[in-house]
Copies of this chain bind each other. A is one copy, B any other.
Amino acid sequence: MPGRRELNKEDKRRRIRDAAWSLFREHGFDATTTRAIAERAEIGVGTLFLYAPDKDALLFSLFRDELGDIVTKRFARVPERALLDQLLYVIRGFYERYAEDPALARRFVPLILRLEGDALASYAALNADFFARVGALVEAAKTRGEVRADVDGAVLGVNVLAIYAYFVLGWLLGPAPRVKDGLASLKPALASLLDGVRPVKAGVSAREGRRK
C-alpha cells in the first residue's frame, strides 16, 4: 500500500523522465544541462542525483525502460506466423524506437559496454527476459515442425540477439538510419541463422528446402 512518500517519489520519477526526454530531444544530450532537467522537473539539482547516479545513467535508464516496454508489448502481440516473421515483428519495435531518436540512440548504445553493478544487473535481467521469450517462441515453432526438436531455445535466443546487435550497431552508426534499410539487411542474416535449425527433410538440405 503506497503512502504519500512513495507516491511523491513515483511522481518525481515521472517528471524527471518527461523533463529529460523532452530536453534531450530539443537540444541533444550534451547540450542539456542537469540543472535544466531539474528545473523542468521542478526539483533541486541535488534531488536529480538521488534518482540517477549520473547523467549517463539517466539516459541509459530512459532507453532501458522503453526497450523493456517494447519487449513486453511486442511479445504480447506476436503474429501467428513463421518464427522468422515473429522475431522480425519484435525487433522492428527496437528499430522503430531507435529511429525516433537516432542521435540519442547513438549516445545510448556505447553505454552498454560500460555497465557495472546494479545497472549491469538490470540490463542483464532485460536480456535474460528477452532470451526466455525468444525461447518460448522457439518451443512453439518446434510444435509446428518449423524447428528441430533438439534445438536449445535459450541458445538460439542468444544468437538472435548477437546478430541483431551486430546489425543494429552498423545501422545506427551509419548516416540517417531508416527502419526499412535496417530490417532489410538484418532479415537475410536471421533467415540464414534459422535455416540452420530447420528440420532436414529426406534428400533435401535445409537451405534447398527453404528455396522451394
Contacts and interface: CB of A to CB of B under 8 A. Distances in A.
Nearest to A169: B113
Contacts of A109: 113
A44 interface: no
A111 B111 CA distance: 10
5 contacts: A106-B113, A106-B114, A113-B169, A113-B173, A166-B166
Count this chain's copies in the assembly.
2
A110 B169 CA distance: 12
Interface in A164-200: 166, 169, 173
A162 interface: yes
Contacts of A114: 106-107, 110
Contacts of A110: 110-111, 113-114
A114 B106 CA distance: 7
Nearest to A120: B173
Interface in A81-132: 106-107, 109-111, 113-114
A186 to B, nearest CB: 15
